[in-house]
């Protein structure tokens, strides 16, 4: 075999290994984050006191999901440099060399435009504009501006992830009331303890990438106390929501149980030393993070249950 | 025998092309369904004034 043919076959094999599959392009849309967006937007849509045609409702959720995915792709385009440093993100399509950063930007921009226009056409332009604002908030305000400039990045940036139930509600009603903002507040207040717990056990990641997470700028002890403070505020909000238009006995039961568990976890985290955490490989922090996923799912699930049972006279307080 | 021999690239990218094709087909079905619902809904009915005339 000549050198030339050897090089050609090596290059071809390399190209095949690096070539993006359809799944790699789909991964740009952050499917796991998208599932949260879909679920919370669906709850917002179904909890609204206006019936929505199933096809319109399906399209609304689909376009909100595509908008969420588009912001994920734009986030990966902008953050490609730090994604390749962090252990958690180095396998993403751009740092792994499967997809070019420019491709991610093009897909993100195209899907952003498509989702906003289609949501506006399918439901109403208020919802479409709100989706556009959410994408702008996540990509420009959070990803480009706050993420690398302030330790409060997670707090303010969390708003972007909290908008979907509001969009779902607006898509159904075309207007705004207190209830969708309570759902917004629930996700907004839940985000910091959820991410700070992650930052505690994914220690070196954010340090290496130079992202000013609270653990890096204010230290790990301060982060532990921040988790507790935010969890207390979250618990007050979550239980208080029970007595609003989207609450009811099912929601109240879920809120009391889950917030008791969440508060216990936050209390344990705040009273642990680094040595304690090192000794058991951050067992408490890891279980708090897992609990936080269940926490949000069950709260929104309870809101959904209240809404679905209302037509049968079972949901809500009446 | 086909007129053009399939290039190795076509086989390699088959799954990607299939994914794009199915996504576009699904999009068409969704838009068609949405259009039917919108057109048969009350929001796009004849304007009241026109009906009165």
CA angle A145-A131-A192, nearest 5°? 50
Please state the rounded mean pLDDT for residues A284-304.
96
Q: What are the tens digits of pLDDT across the range A215-263?
A: 888 888 999 999 999 999 999 999 999 999 999 999 999 999 999 999 9
Q: What are the tens digits of pLDDT across the range A91-111?
A: 899 999 999 999 999 999 999
From the list A19, A22, A55, which residue is nearest B37 (CB)? Answer: A55
Q: Is the pLDDT of residue A118 over 90?
A: yes
B36: closest CA of chain A, how far (Å): 10
CB pairs under 8 A between A and B: 31
Q: Is B28 on the interface with A (CB under 8 A)?
A: no
Cβ contact (<8 Å) for B15 and A22? yes
Does residue B30 belong to any structural domain of this protein? yes
Token representation of residue A15: 């190209």
From the list B15, B18, B30, which residue is nearest A59 (CB)? Answer: B30
- 8 Å CB contact between A42 and A168: yes
pLDDT value, residue B52: 52
For residues B2 and A112, the model is more confident at: A112
Does residue B23 belong to any structural domain of this protein? yes
Given its phi and psi angles, is residue A82 left (phi above 0), alpha (psi -120 to 50 degrees) or beta?
alpha
Confidence label for A207 from pLDDT (cuts 50, 70 and 90): confident
- 8 Å CB contact between A43 and A303: yes
Cβ contact (<8 Å) for B20 and A22? yes
Count: domains in chain B: 1
pLDDT value, residue A242: 96
- 8 Å CB contact between A135 and A67: yes
Residue ranges in chain A assigned as alpha helix (H): 3-18, 22-27, 31-47, 54-78, 80-83, 101-122, 125-136, 153-162, 164-173, 178-201, 203-209, 214-217, 219-240, 249-270, 274-279, 283-309
Confidence label for B3 from pLDDT (cuts 50, 70 and 90): low
Confidence label for B10 from pLDDT (cuts 50, 70 and 90): confident
- Largest distance between two CA atoms of chain A: 83
Does residue B52 belong to any structural domain of this protein? no
3-class DSSP state for residue A124? coil
Q: What is the CATH number of domain A21-176?
A: 1.10.357.140
B31: closest CA of chain A, how far (Å): 9
For residues B5 and A173, the model is more confident at: A173
B45: closest CA of chain A, how far (Å): 16
Please give the Cα distance from A40 to A30 (Å, whole number). 16
Token representation of residue A283: 């067992």
Burial letters A170-197, b for 16+ CB under 10 A, else e: bbbbeeeeebbbbbbbbbbbbbbbbbbb
pLDDT value, residue B48: 46
Q: What is the mean pLDDT of chain A?
A: 90
Q: Is the pLDDT of residue A132 over 90?
A: yes
The full 3-state SS of chain B, as one line of letters, equals CCCCCCCHHHHHCHHHHHHHHHHHHHHHHHHHHHHHHHHHCHHHCCCHHHHHC
Q: Is the pLDDT of residue B45 over 50?
A: no
A chain contacts of residue B15, beta-carbon cutoff 8 Å: 21-22
pLDDT value, residue A12: 54
For residues A211 and A72, the model is more confident at: A72
Locate the domains of chain A by residue range: 21-176, 178-318
Q: Is B45 on the interface with A (CB under 8 A)?
A: no
The kind and range of the H/E element at A50 are none
Please state the rounded mean pLDDT for residues A114-135.
97
Q: Is the pLDDT of residue B47 over 80?
A: no
Token representation of residue A232: 């207390």
ipTM: 0.75
The kind and range of the H/E element at A243 are none
Instruction: State the sign of the Cα–Cα–Cα–Cα dihedral A140, A231, A199, A34.
Output: negative
The full 3-state SS of A287-316, as one line of letters, equals HHHHHHHHHHHHHHHHHHHHHHHHHHCCCC
Cβ contact (<8 Å) for A22 and B30? no
Please state the rounded mean pLDDT for residues A273-291.
92
Does residue B1 belong to any structural domain of this protein? no
Give residue for tokens 């508060």: A263
Going through chain A in order, the beta strands assigned E by DSSP cover none
Cβ contact (<8 Å) for B15 and A20? no
B20: closest CA of chain A, how far (Å): 8
Given its phi and psi angles, is residue A210 left (phi above 0), alpha (psi -120 to 50 degrees) or beta?
left
Q: Is the pLDDT of residue A2 over 50?
A: no
Chain A residue whose CA is closest to B20? A22
Confidence label for A9 from pLDDT (cuts 50, 70 and 90): low
Q: Is B7 on the interface with A (CB under 8 A)?
A: no
- Domain extent for B36: 8-41
Q: Is the pLDDT of residue B50 over 70?
A: no
Instruction: State the sign of the Cα–Cα–Cα–Cα dihedral A46, A50, A56, A59.
Output: negative
Nearest to A197 by CA among A99, A298, A270, A273: A270
Burial letters A247-281, b for 16+ CB under 10 A, else e: bbebbbebbeebbeebeebbebbbebeeeebeeee
Q: Is the pLDDT of residue B46 over 70?
A: no
For residue A282, CA distances in Å to A195, A202, A226, B31 come to: 14, 10, 17, 49
For residues A89 and A75, the model is more confident at: A75
Nearest to A268 by CA among A193, A187, A214, A186: A193
Does residue B47 belong to any structural domain of this protein? no
Does residue B51 belong to any structural domain of this protein? no
């Amino acid at each position: 075999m000549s050198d030339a043919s050897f090089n050609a076959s090596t290059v071809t094999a390399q190209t095949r290994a690096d070539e993006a599959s359809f799944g790699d392009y789909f991964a740009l849309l952050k499917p796991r984050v998208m599932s949260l967006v879909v679920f919370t937007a669906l709850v917002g849509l179904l909890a609204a006191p206006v019936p929505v045609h199933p096809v319109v409702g399906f399209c609304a959720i689909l376009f909100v999901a595509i908008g969420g995915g588009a912001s994920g792709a734009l986030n990966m385009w902008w953050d490609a440099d730090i994604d390749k440093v962090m252990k958690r993100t180095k396998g993403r399509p751009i740092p792994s060399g499967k997809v070019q950063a420019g491709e991610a930007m093009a897909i993100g921009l195209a899907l952003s435009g498509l989702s906003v226009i289609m949501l506006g056409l399918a439901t109403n332009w208020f919802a479409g504009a709100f989706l556009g604002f959410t994408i702008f908030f996540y990509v420009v305000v959070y990803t480009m501006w706050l993420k690398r400039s302030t330790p409060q990045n997670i707090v303010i940036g969390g708003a972007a992830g909290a908008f979907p139930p509001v969009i779902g509600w607006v898509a159904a009603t075309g207007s705004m009331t207190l209830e969708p903002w309570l759902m917004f507040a629930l996700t907004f207040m839940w985000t910091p303890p959820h991410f700070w717990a992650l930052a505690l056990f994914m220690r070196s990641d954010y340090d290496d990438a130079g992202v000013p997470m609270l653990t890096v700028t204010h230290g790990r002890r301060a982060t532990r106390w921040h988790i507790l403070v935010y969890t207390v505020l979250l618990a007050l909000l979550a239980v208080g929501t029970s007595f609003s238009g989207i609450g009811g006995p099912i929601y109240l039961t879920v809120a009391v149980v889950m917030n008791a568990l969440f508060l216990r976890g936050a209390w344990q985290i705040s009273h642990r030393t680094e040595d304690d955490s090192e000794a058991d490989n951050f067992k408490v922090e890891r279980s708090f993070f897992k609990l936080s996923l269940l926490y949000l799912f069950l709260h929104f699930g309870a809101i959904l249950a209240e809404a679905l049972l209302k037509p049968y006279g079972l949901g809500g307080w009446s | 025998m086909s007129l053009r021999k399939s290039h190795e690239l076509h086989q390699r990218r088959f799954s990607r092309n299939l994914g794009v094709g199915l996504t576009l087909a699904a999009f068409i079905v969704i838009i068609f369904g949405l259009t039917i619902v919108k057109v048969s809904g009350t929001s796009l009915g004849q304007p009241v004034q026109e009906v009165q005339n």
